């Protein structure tokens, strides 16, 4: 079992080096700098248990002041290692969102170490825009998305620009970022990780 703090440290490093460092999401830097990203580690080993943890995090996010917690990254290091299983699980996640009457309030985005867009080969570098160290559910507030999109001059271009960024970077460039699972050393965990998942 990968230690709780290491899961958070790996995810934080991926966010800083890949998502923010490559500007894959122009909206990520602001909430990261303000400390509004909540890192939650699920120790679920089954889809059923992960769904329980997801429901809990959805409730917690909507009940928390956006100035304190704007978004949540729910990592599942102990299950959903197969991308197709993870992809199938998303239907249950969306159903849970609807049953909580949070459809239109919150949104769930998916990230996975083996993420693969439809119509691409597994090793296509463009898949890496959505490749996180662990299976991850990103819980976002619709209001925050709307504000961010309104402030961005051309939000429709983000996907295309990301594809170009990844193609320029290449597989060697991605490997150099060292953002795979457990790539962060113990010293980083001990010195810089503040675990907010229990607050």
Residue bearing the bigger pLDDT, 178 or 151: 178
Phi, psi of 39 (to 5 degrees): -100, 120
The per-residue pLDDT for 197 is 43
Is a pLDDT exceeding 90 seen at residue 152? no
Handedness of CA 6, 182, 138, 34 (dihedral sign): positive
Q: How far is the first Cα of the chain from the last one, in angstroms, to the nearest whole number?
A: 22
Listed by start position, the domains of the chain span: 4-192
Cα distance between residue 119 and residue 99, in whole Å: 32
**Mean pLDDT confidence for 19-48:** 96
Is a pLDDT exceeding 70 seen at residue 110? yes
In percent, how much of the chain has pLDDT > 70?
Answer: 91
- What tokens does 38 get? 């909540």
pTM, entire model: 0.90
For 8-12, 26-30, 43-47, 194-198, which range has the lowest pLDDT when averaged over its residues?
194-198
The per-residue pLDDT for 6 is 96
The per-residue pLDDT for 187 is 37
């Amino acid at each position: 079992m990968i230690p709780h703090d290491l899961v958070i440290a790996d995810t934080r490093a991926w966010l800083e080096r890949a998502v923010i460092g490559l500007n894959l999401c122009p909206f990520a830097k602001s909430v990261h700098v303000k400390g509004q990203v909540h890192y939650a580690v699920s120790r679920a080993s089954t889809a059923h248990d992960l769904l329980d943890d997801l429901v809990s995090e959805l409730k917690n996010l909507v009940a928390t002041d956006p100035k304190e917690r704007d978004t949540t990254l729910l990592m599942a290091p102990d299950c959903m290692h197969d991308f197709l299983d993870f992809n199938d699980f998303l239907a249950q996640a969306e159903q849970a969102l609807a049953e909580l009457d949070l459809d239109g309030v919150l949104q769930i985005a998916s990230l996975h170490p083996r993420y693969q867009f439809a119509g691409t080969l597994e090793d296509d570098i463009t898949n890496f825009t959505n490749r996180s160290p662990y299976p991850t559910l990103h819980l976002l507030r619709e209001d925050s998305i709307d504000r961010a999109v309104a402030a961005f001059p051309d939000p429709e271009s983000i996907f295309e620009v990301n594809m170009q960024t990844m193609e320029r970077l290449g597989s060697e460039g991605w490997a150099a970022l060292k953002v795979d699972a457990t790539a962060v050393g113990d010293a980083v965990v001990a010195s810089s990780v503040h675990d907010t998942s229990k607050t």
